[in-house]
Amino acid sequence: MADHNHQQRHHQQQQPMLRNLHESAPSTRQVVRFLTAATIGLSLLVLSGLTLTGTVIGLIVATPLMVLFSPVLVPAMITLVLLTAGFFFSGGCGVAAATALTWIYRYVTGKHPMGADKVDYARMRISEKAKELGHFAHPLTHQTTTTTNH
pLDDT, tens digit, for every residue of 82-94?
999 999 999 999 9
Q: What count of Cα atoms within 13 Å lies in the side-chain half-sphere of residue 51?
A: 6
Give the integer Cα–Cα distance in Å for 34 and 49: 22
Q: Concatenate the DSSP letters of all residues of 70-94 into one string.
A: HHHHHHHHHHHHHHHHHHHHHHHHH
The domain locations on the chain are: 115-150
User: pLDDT: is 120 or 8 the higher one?
Assistant: 120
pLDDT tens by residue, 92-104: 999 999 999 999 9
Beta strands in the chain (DSSP E): none
Give the integer Cα–Cα distance in Å for 107 and 119: 10
Q: Could you give the residue ranges of the DSSP H alpha helices within the chain? A: 2-23, 28-108, 116-149
Q: Which of 17-21, 41-45, 108-112 comes out lowest in average pLDDT?
A: 17-21
CB 66 within 8 A of CB 73: yes
> ∠ CA(135), CA(138), CA(143), 5° rounding?
145
Give the integer Cα–Cα distance in Å for 29 and 121: 55
Q: Which of 65, 63, 45 is nearest to 53 (CA)?
A: 45
Query: Is 0.75 surpassed by the pTM of this model?
Result: no
